[in-house]
């Protein structure tokens, strides 16, 4: 992951190392299709007509390096998450052209390799940034126009989550969480699909992120503070909120200095599920303002706590998640077995934020943070390679 911290002068032109998932993560089959490793996009090389060749960093092979793929993607997908950087990144083009790219759309989320963009009140899903997707036949889906509930907003998206790897599947549900009370669901694979909008009355969920639990077949969301988990079962609960109270156990003993530091931090809570083990983890992420530049506050991670959840609502503090690695970013968080991806460090959490890259190794009780502008703070989960284009 240290490769993300310093861009090399030359990009490696090799194909990524592909891996086969271990049998225990192949849904019962004896072998599974090869997969791309977990990765992130660190930029794109412009090649004309508003297109660019994405520069991926793969986080699996021991000699991991930047990979420059020949596929072309719209530059606006890569460079419109942090708008102020557009003029610098497109210095070869006119300021007006860069402004036009900024106004075109905004990247707001990523799940199962599908990037979500927002423009003119419409969410769009596309697989351009999926390293395993076709270059010649990119898939792009416009979801129905958003409907804003009274006293809500749909311009600022907290995150997007999907219930299955493909929005073309009839049963696939897309969940969009907006800053504030509104949570919206859509089934893009069904004809005449429309948004189902839910108003969340508890303000402690207003800034929370939604995730899909395959284990429970529910969308779940931790409330601020991490004492409740809200769940929506679209099949049984008629879109109503089901609450689970958490009971924290085995909390670590903290010094007075560490306790005061955590109290001074802003905290966010994130749920992630391991498909290989069936375990669910709650991550408490502590950040503090490091500096203010041009009126914008840059935060720095000070601590990360991981809790293992059970069906009874017990949240047990742990420093050992075994043969697992967790990836936390603006994407829907995900977890992978490191035995399936050589070079991925077990018992580690990797974080991408707008202005920071963090590695938390629980085996060594270490936290390495680097303040750096991240142009596209989205991890891309492993993608099955049906074919290599």
pLDDT digits (tens, 9 = 90+) for 160-213: 999 999 999 999 999 999 999 999 999 999 988 999 999 999 999 999 999 999
pLDDT digits (tens, 9 = 90+) for 349-380: 999 998 899 999 999 999 999 888 888 899 99
Is it the case that residue 4 has pLDDT exceeding 60? no
| Residue appearing with tokens 């219930």 | 163
Give the percent of the chain with pLDDT over 90.
60
- pTM for this model (two decimals): 0.85
Give, in degrees to the nearest 5, the angle at Cα 120 between 114 and 122: 40
Is it the case that residue 268 has pLDDT exceeding 60? yes
3-class DSSP assignment, residue 263: helix
pLDDT digits (tens, 9 = 90+) for 286-309: 999 888 777 677 889 999 999 999
Nearest C-alpha neighbor of 301 from the set 266, 344, 327, 348: 266
* Edge-to-edge strand list for the sheet holding 174-178: 157-162, 174-178, 182-186, 196-199
DSSP β-bridge partners for residue 15: none
Nearest C-alpha neighbor of 351 from the set 329, 367, 381: 329
């Amino acid at each position: 992951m240290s490769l993300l911290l310093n861009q090399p002068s030359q990009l490696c032109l090799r194909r990524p190392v592909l891996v086969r998932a271990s049998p225990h993560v192949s849904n019962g089959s004896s072998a599974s299709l090869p997969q791309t490793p977990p990765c992130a996009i660190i930029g794109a090389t412009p090649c004309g007509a508003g297109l660019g060749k994405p520069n991926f960093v793969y986080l699996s092979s021991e000699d991991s390096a930047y990979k420059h793929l020949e596929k072309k993607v719209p530059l606006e997908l890569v460079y419109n998450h942090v708008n102020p950087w557009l003029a610098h990144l497109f210095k070869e083009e006119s300021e007006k052209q860069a402004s036009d790219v900024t106004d075109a759309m905004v990247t707001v989320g990523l799940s199962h390799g599908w990037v979500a963009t927002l423009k003119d009140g419409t969410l769009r899903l596309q697989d351009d940034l999926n390293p395993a997707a076709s270059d010649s036949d990119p898939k792009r889906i416009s979801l129905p126009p958003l409907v804003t509930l009274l006293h809500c907003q749909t311009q600022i998206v907290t995150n997007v989550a999907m219930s299955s790897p493909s929005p073309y599947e009839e049963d696939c549900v897309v969940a969009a969480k907006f800053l504030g009370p509104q949570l919206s669901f859509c089934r893009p694979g069904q004809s005449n699909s429309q948004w189902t909008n839910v108003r969340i009355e508890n303000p402690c969920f207003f800034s929370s992120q939604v995730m899909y639990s395959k284990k429970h077949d529910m969308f779940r969301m931790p409330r601020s503070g991490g004492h409740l988990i809200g769940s929506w079962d679209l099949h049984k609960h008629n879109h109503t909120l089901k609450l689970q109270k958490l009971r924290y156990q085995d909390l670590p003993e903290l010094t007075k200095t560490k306790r005061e530091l955590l109290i001074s931090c802003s905290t966010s809570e994130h749920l992630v599920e391991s498909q290989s083990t069936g375990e669910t983890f709650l991550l408490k992420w502590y950040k503090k303002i490091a500096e203010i530049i041009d009126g914008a506050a840059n935060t720095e991670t000070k601590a990360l706590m991981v809790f293992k959840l059970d069906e009874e609502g017990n949240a047990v503090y742990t420093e050992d998640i075994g043969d697992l690695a967790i990836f936390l970013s603006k994407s829907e968080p995900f977890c992978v077995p490191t035995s399936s991806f050589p070079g991925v460090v077990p018992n580690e959490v990797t974080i991408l934020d707008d202005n920071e890259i963090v590695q938390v190794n629980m085996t060594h009780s270490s936290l390495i943070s680097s303040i750096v502008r991240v142009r596209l703070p989205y991890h891309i989960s492993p993608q099955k390679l049906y074919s290599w284009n």
